[in-house]
């Protein structure tokens, strides 16, 4: 999903993508469906990097909830946290449309729900074997997502500005739900909605035009802004 970001943001930001176990190049590694190990590992990577340049977390869907937790973990470690969070296609509320309990669905029901998110290529949808090979990863991601969703309720607001992004036709996260991120920051919340659905960020040209703007604004934002 982020393979072109280094080139697309060249001269604007250095992109450091995190690939979780059990995915793509780490496909043979065991999946993790509990938050604590991932949060601790990512926070430790940031601390141990020794890089003192300002940085921002960008997370899409499950990644957005993970970014929030890692930012809190860095606070706990009294480490230098991100200067801003960009949280994409994620509602902070328990029980939102994107909240799925994978243990209450059989394989066919799970795949039907995931197909409803959109963003899966027609060729992939027609390949039943490939879709079914994704089921363990989907269940792992959804268990992790539900845990983060439940535990997020207890998190205090961060002093970090948040930019909440969404797709105007997202069946999972509405523009109204994005506004609820206001409860998770004592700083500024900016909302921006783009054409498309849950995977709107695949239109990289639109996103790459916006990201330099928000990266600059994280240093100067003074008020809540909504551009849905």
Active-site annotation holder among 30, 49, 61, 133: 61
Nearest alpha-carbon partner for 186 in 163, 164, 157: 157
Q: How many angstroms separate the Cα of 48 from the Cα of each of 39, 51, 52, 147, 159?
A: 14, 8, 11, 26, 23
Query: What is the secondary structure of 36-75 as a DSSP string?
Result: HHHHHHHHHHHHHT---S--EEEEETHHHHHHHHHHHHHH
Measure the CA–CA gap between 23 and 16, rounded to whole angstroms.
Answer: 16
Q: Are the beta carbons of 81 and 160 closer than 8 angstroms?
A: yes
Measure the CA–CA gap between 80 and 47, rounded to whole angstroms.
Answer: 8
Tokens describing residue 40: 């601790």
A 10 A CB-CB count for 194 gives 21
Is there a catalytic annotation at residue 61? yes
- E strand or H helix at 177, and its extent? helix 175-178
- E strand or H helix at 165, and its extent? strand 162-167
- E strand or H helix at 138, and its extent? helix 135-152
Give the residue numbers marked as catalytic.
61
């Amino acid at each position: 999903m982020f393979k072109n970001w280094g080139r697309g943001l060249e001269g604007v930001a250095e992109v450091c993508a995190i690939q979780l176990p059990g995915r793509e190049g780490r496909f043979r590694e065991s999946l993790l469906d509990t938050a604590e190990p991932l949060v601790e590992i990512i926070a430790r990577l940031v601390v141990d990097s020794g890089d003192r340049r300002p940085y921002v977390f960008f997370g899409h869907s499950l990644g957005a909830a993970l970014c929030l937790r890692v930012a809190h973990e860095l606070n706990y470690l009294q480490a230098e946290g991100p200067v801003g969070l960009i949280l994409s296609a994620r509602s902070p509320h328990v029980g939102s449309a994107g909240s799925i309990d994978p243990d209450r669905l059989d394989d066919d029901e799970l795949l039907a729900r995931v197909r409803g998110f959109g963003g899966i290529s027609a060729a992939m949808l027609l390949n039943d074997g490939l879709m079914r090979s994704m089921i363990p990863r989907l269940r792992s991601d959804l268990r992790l997502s539900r845990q983060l969703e439940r535990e997020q309720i207890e998190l205090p607001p961060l002093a970090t500005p948040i930019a909440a992004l969404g797709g105007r036709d997202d069946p999972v996260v509405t523009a109204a739900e994005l506004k609820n991120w206001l409860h998770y920051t004592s700083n500024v919340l900016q909302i921006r909605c783009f054409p498309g659905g849950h995977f709107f960020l695949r239109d990289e040209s639109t996103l790459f035009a916006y990201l330099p703007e928000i990266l600059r604004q994280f240093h100067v934002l003074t008020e809540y802004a909504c551009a849905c």
